């Protein structure tokens, strides 16, 4: 799209991809240290909080600012442009479910774990041997599924601070156990049960697309993999089923993800900065910019005036839940949480190499030495 934008406007846009061996934050720091920053940088929300005061240009006066509730403001400065809305839950193949049940699949009927397990038993009896798939990637386990343990608390910030301070008893926390009860059921019916940590994302997505399995935990970004296979269009995302006393089993967890900020330093010229601001307005206000977000990238827009009639089935689900209100993503987990909790703890639990009590103790131990994210 950078090439097309250059052809249309004459403004040269050069795109740099992240080095997978280092964090985005460290790469940004390196560029600033060499007085050669990116004009526009895409980072996670927590990075906006860390970088905004020193480096981010104030976007408060931009036309798009009044059309989103998801921009990030730091000390009175609108610093973060929300690139898209993402949300997570159970991806389902309604067509595959209905072939066995003979009834229209309504996700709201399976909000409790008891009802959901009953459906899985029905699918199994109808010939779908193992109706679930669990992505084994550490980012899915650590940053997406386990993160809901924090996000579904009444006060996520207080809960995380309690873990950092060593005062939370995770093993006896109701929300932790509700979500792990569901995870245990997903494990029990998992097509890769017995070697779950070796599950391949491509194979799992292919099985879901084909209807060999009915459910897979993930988010609307997974459509980029699913669409590559012969898939049903009767798919969507539902909240994680839970036997819970709150309403967290009726709402997806999500929000603005991946934020853009414009450099405010003297190393960026006024001409470059003006071109950057024009580019952001193009994404929001121009039909081609809108099509790039919602059609080419299959993203749920974060702006109320951007129509999204051509969204894929997963993003359509997310937009419906987002319009009604999402459980907010918690953006302030320690930088190494995803790898430590996802790779060293959750992957072991997925493969039954660790008990629930051992997992809870390991997470608590991790937080004792974790570095808090300032915000």
Q: List the domains of the chain with CATH numbers.
A: 1-86+254-328 (3.40.190.10), 88-252+333-369 (3.40.190.10)
Query: For residues 80, 84, 87 and 90, what is the CA-based torsion angle, rounded to 10 degrees?
Result: -160
Distance from C-alpha of 43 to C-alpha of 16, rounded to nearest angstrom = 13
Distance from C-alpha of 19 to C-alpha of 257, rounded to nearest angstrom = 19
CB atoms near residue 42 (< 10 Å)? 16
CA nearest neighbour of 95 among 105, 86, 87, 84: 105
**Paired tokens of 14:** 């050069």
Q: What is the pLDDT of residue 27?
A: 85
Phi-psi category of residue 258: left, alpha or beta, with phi > 0 → left and psi -120 to 50 → alpha: left
Answer for the pair 159, 150: CB distance below 8 angstroms, yes or no. Answer: yes
Helix then strand then coil, in percent of the chain rounded to 5, is 50, 15, 35
Q: What is the pLDDT of residue 297?
A: 84
CA nearest neighbour of 166 among 351, 366, 374: 366
The DSSP line for 300-330 is B-SSTT---TT--HHHHHHHHHHHH--EEPP
Distance from C-alpha of 190 to C-alpha of 206, rounded to nearest angstrom = 15
**Paired tokens of 131:** 């109706």
Q: How many CA atoms lie within 13 A of 137 on its CB side?
A: 15
Q: What is the pLDDT of residue 142?
A: 97
CB atoms near residue 229 (< 10 Å)? 13
Q: For residue 82, what are the β-bridge partners?
A: 259
Q: What is the pLDDT of residue 218?
A: 97
Per-residue pLDDT of the chain (375 residues; tens, 9 = 90+): 999 999 999 999 999 987 766 777 788 889 999 999 999 999 988 889 889 999 999 999 999 999 998 999 999 999 999 999 999 999 999 999 999 999 999 999 999 999 999 999 999 999 999 999 999 999 999 999 999 999 999 999 999 999 999 999 999 999 999 999 999 999 999 999 988 888 999 999 999 999 999 999 999 999 989 999 999 999 999 999 999 999 999 999 999 989 999 999 999 999 999 999 999 999 999 999 999 998 888 789 999 888 888 889 999 999 899 888 899 999 899 989 999 999 999 999 999 999 999 999 999 999 999 999 877
Answer for the pair 79, 221: CB distance below 8 angstroms, yes or no. Answer: no
pTM of the model: 0.86
CA nearest neighbour of 224 among 322, 299, 130, 277: 299
Q: What is the pLDDT of residue 215?
A: 98
Answer for the pair 182, 242: CB distance below 8 angstroms, yes or no. Answer: yes
Q: What is the pLDDT of residue 8?
A: 93
Answer for the pair 6, 13: CB distance below 8 angstroms, yes or no. Answer: yes
Nearest 5°: CA angle at 67, between 66 and 70?
Answer: 95
CB atoms near residue 339 (< 10 Å)? 13
CB atoms near residue 313 (< 10 Å)? 22
Q: What is the pLDDT of residue 265?
A: 96
Q: Crossing angle for the helix pair 24-33 and 45-55, nearest 10 degrees?
A: 20
């Amino acid at each position: 799209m950078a090439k097309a934008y250059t052809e249309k406007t004459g403004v040269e846009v050069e795109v740099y991809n992240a080095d997978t061996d280092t964090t985005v934050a460290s790469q940004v720091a390196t560029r600033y240290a060499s007085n050669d920053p990116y004009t526009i940088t895409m980072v996670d929300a927590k990075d906006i909080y860390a970088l905004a005061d020193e480096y981010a240009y104030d976007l408060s006066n931009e036309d798009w600012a009044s059309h989103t509730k998801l921009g990030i403001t730091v000390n009175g400065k609108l610093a973060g442009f929300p690139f898209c809305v993402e949300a997570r839950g159970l991806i389902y193949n309604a067509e595959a479910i209905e072939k066995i049940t003979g009834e229209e699949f309504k996700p709201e009927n399976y909000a409790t774990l008891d009802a959901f397990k009953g459906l899985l038993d029905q699918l199994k009896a109808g010939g779908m041997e193992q109706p679930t798939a669990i992505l084994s990637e550490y980012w899915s386990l650590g940053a997406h599924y386990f993160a809901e343990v924090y996000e579904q608390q009444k006060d996520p910030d207080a809960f995380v601070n309690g873990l950092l301070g060593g005062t939370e008893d995770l093993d006896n926390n109701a929300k932790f156990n509700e979500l792990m009860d569901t995870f245990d059921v997903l494990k029990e019916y998992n097509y890769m049960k017995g070697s779950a940590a070796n599950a391949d994302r491509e194979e799992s997505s292919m099985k879901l697309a084909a209807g060999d399995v009915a459910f897979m935990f993930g988010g609307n970004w997974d459509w980029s993999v699913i669409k590559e296979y012969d898939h049903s269009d009767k798919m969507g995302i539902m909240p994680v089923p839970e036997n819970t006393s709150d309403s967290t089993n009726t709402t997806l967890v999500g929000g603005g993800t991946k934020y853009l900020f414009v450099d405010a330093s003297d190393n960026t010229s006024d001409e470059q900065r003006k071109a950057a601001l024009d580019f952001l307005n193009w994404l929001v206000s121009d039909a081609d910019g809108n099509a790039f977000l919602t059609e080419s990238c299959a993203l749920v827009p974060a702006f109320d005036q951007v129509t999204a009639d051509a969204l894929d089935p997963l993003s359509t689900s997310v937009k419906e839940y987002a319009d009604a209100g999402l459980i907010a993503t918690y953006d302030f987990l320690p930088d190494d949480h995803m790898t430590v909790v996802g790779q060293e703890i959750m992957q072991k639990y997925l493969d039954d190499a660790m008990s629930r009590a051992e997992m809870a103790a390991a997470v608590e131990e991790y937080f004792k030495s974790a570095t808090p994210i300032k915000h």
